[in-house]
C-alpha cells in the first residue's frame, strides 16, 4: 500500500463513523488530505464532514447487522473511488451484566453487531483487496479482547472472538499483500459509556460483590465524576501511524491503562503456566517426547 506521504490518496472505509474512535479517525484523516467512506446508521451525524470535504468523502447508511446494507455500502465505495485501501471495523457496542443476568436475546444481539457484523464487512471488502493485492484492515477490539472482567463477560467474549478471527486472518492474507492490525484501546474519552453501553435490567443480588464496582464506575463516568484519560485524537494518530509503518503491528494496544492491564494478564498467565507445567506435560503418552510439534485438538 502506498504511504499517505506520497501523492497517492488512500481510501479508508470506516464503520461507525458518526462517533467515538470512528469519528475521531475520520476527522483526522480528512484533515490530512485522505479520502474516507463514512458509514453510519444516521447520516445526519456526518453531514458536517461531507459538507466540508465533499470531494473526498462518501456517506453511506450502514447497519452492520444488515448484510444487504454492508454489500451496498462496499459497492458504492468501489463505484465512486475504485478501491478500498484501509478497512476499519469500528462499529460496535457493549453489554454490561453478569453472565447469568444477560438474556439470550441480548447475547445474540451483541454478537450480531460485534462479531457477525465484522465478518460480513470483511467478506464484502476482502475480494477487492485480494484483487488489488494490497490493503490494511484495522479491527477495533479492546483491552477487553485480552482481559475479561466480571460484569462484562458477554461484551468481552465478542472481542475475544474478534482477536481470534483477526489473528487467523492476518496469516491468511499476508501472502496477498494485505495487513491486519487489532486495535486494543483502554480507557478513552469517547461516548462509549454514555451512548454505546447497554446495562442489563436484570440484577441478581448474589453477583453484587463481583459486579457492583463496574456498575458504579459506569455511573461515575456517566455523571462525569470520573473522566477517561485517553485522547481519541491521539488514538487516531496512532492507528494511522500503524498503517503507515512498513512493520505494522498485529496488535496495537492504546493507552497506559491498556498496557498495564495486558502486562498483568500476561504475567499471570506465565506464572500459572509455570506452576502447573509438570501436571500439564505429564498428560502425554510415555513415548511422546515433550516439545514435539503437535496439532491442537
pLDDT confidence bin for 291, thresholds 50/70/90: low
User: How far is CA 240 from each of CA 47, 94, 173, rounded to the nearest angstrom?
Assistant: 23, 25, 20
The runs of H, that is alpha helices, within 53-95 are: 67-81
pTM score: 0.90
Q: What is the pLDDT of residue 190?
A: 64
Residues of the chain above pLDDT 90, percent: 78
List the domain boundaries for the chain: 11-281
- Average pLDDT of the chain is 91
Q: How many CA atoms lie within 13 A of 19 on its CB side?
A: 14
Handedness of CA 20, 26, 28, 29 (dihedral sign): positive
Of 4, 17, 18, 159, which residue is the catalytic one?
Answer: 159
Say whether 75 is catalytic.
no
Q: How many CA atoms lie within 13 A of 248 on its CB side?
A: 25
Q: What is the pLDDT of residue 191?
A: 66
Say whether 297 is catalytic.
no
Please state, in angstroms and rounded to a whole number, the distance separating the CA atoms of residues 233 and 13: 18
Q: What are the tens digits of pLDDT across the range 83-128? A: 999 999 999 999 999 999 999 999 999 999 999 999 999 999 999 9
DSSP annotation of 103 = -
Cα 167 off chain centre by = 12
pLDDT confidence bin for 247, thresholds 50/70/90: very high
Do residues 138 and 89 touch, judged by C-beta distance below 8 A? yes
Looking at 3.40.50.150, 3.40.50.720, 3.40.630.30, 3.30.360.10, the CATH number of the domain 11-281 comes to 3.40.50.720
Of 18, 152, 155, 187, which residue is the catalytic one?
Answer: 155
Of 4, 18, 141, 157, which residue is the catalytic one?
Answer: 141
Amino acid at each position: 500500500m502506498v504511504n499517505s506521504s506520497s501523492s497517492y490518496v488512500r481510501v479508508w472505509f470506516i464503520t461507525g463513523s458518526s462517533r467515538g474512535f470512528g469519528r475521531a479517525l475520520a476527522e483526522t484523516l480528512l484533515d490530512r488530505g485522505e479520502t474516507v467512506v463514512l458509514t453510519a446508521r444516521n447520516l445526519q451525524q456526518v453531514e458536517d464532514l461531507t459538507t466540508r470535504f465533499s470531494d473526498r468523502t462518501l456517506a453511506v447508511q450502514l447497519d452492520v447487522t444488515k448484510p444487504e446494507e454492508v454489500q451496498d455500502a462496499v459497492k458504492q465505495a468501489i463505484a465512486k473511488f475504485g478501491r478500498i485501501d484501509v478497512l476499519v471495523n469500528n462499529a460496535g457496542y457493549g453489554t454490561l451484566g453478569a453472565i447469568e443476568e444477560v438474556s439470550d436475546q441480548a447475547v445474540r444481539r451483541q454478537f450480531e453487531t460485534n462479531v457477525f457484523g465484522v465478518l460480513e464487512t470483511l467478506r464484502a471488502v476482502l475480494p477487492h483487496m485480494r484483487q488489488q493485492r494490497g490493503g490494511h484492515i484495522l479491527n477495533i477490539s479492546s483491552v477487553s479482547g485480552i482481559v475479561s472482567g466480571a460484569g462484562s463477560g458477554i461484551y468481552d467474549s465478542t472481542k475475544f472472538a474478534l482477536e481470534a478471527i483477526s489473528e487467523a486472518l492476518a496469516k491468511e492474507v499476508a501472502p496477498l499483500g494485505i495487513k491486519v492490525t487489532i486495535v486494543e484501546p483502554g480507557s478513552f474519552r469517547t461516548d462509549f459509556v454514555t451512548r454505546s453501553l447497554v446495562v442489563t435490567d436484570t440484577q441478581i443480588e448474589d453477583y453484587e460483590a463481583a459486579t457492583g464496582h463496574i456498575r458504579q464506575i459506569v455511573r461515575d463516568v456517566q455523571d462525569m465524576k470520573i473522566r477517561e484519560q485517553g485522547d481519541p485524537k491521539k488514538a487516531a494518530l496512532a492507528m494511522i501511524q500503524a498503517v503507515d509503518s512498513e512493520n505494522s503491528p498485529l496488535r496495537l494496544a492504546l493507552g497506559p491503562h491498556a498496557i498495564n492491564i495486558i502486562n498483568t494478564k500476561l504475567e499471570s498467565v506465565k506464572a500459572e503456566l509455570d506452576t502447573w507445567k509438570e501436571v500439564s506435560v505429564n498428560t502425554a503418552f510415555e513415548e511422546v517426547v515433550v516439545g514435539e510439534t503437535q496439532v491442537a485438538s
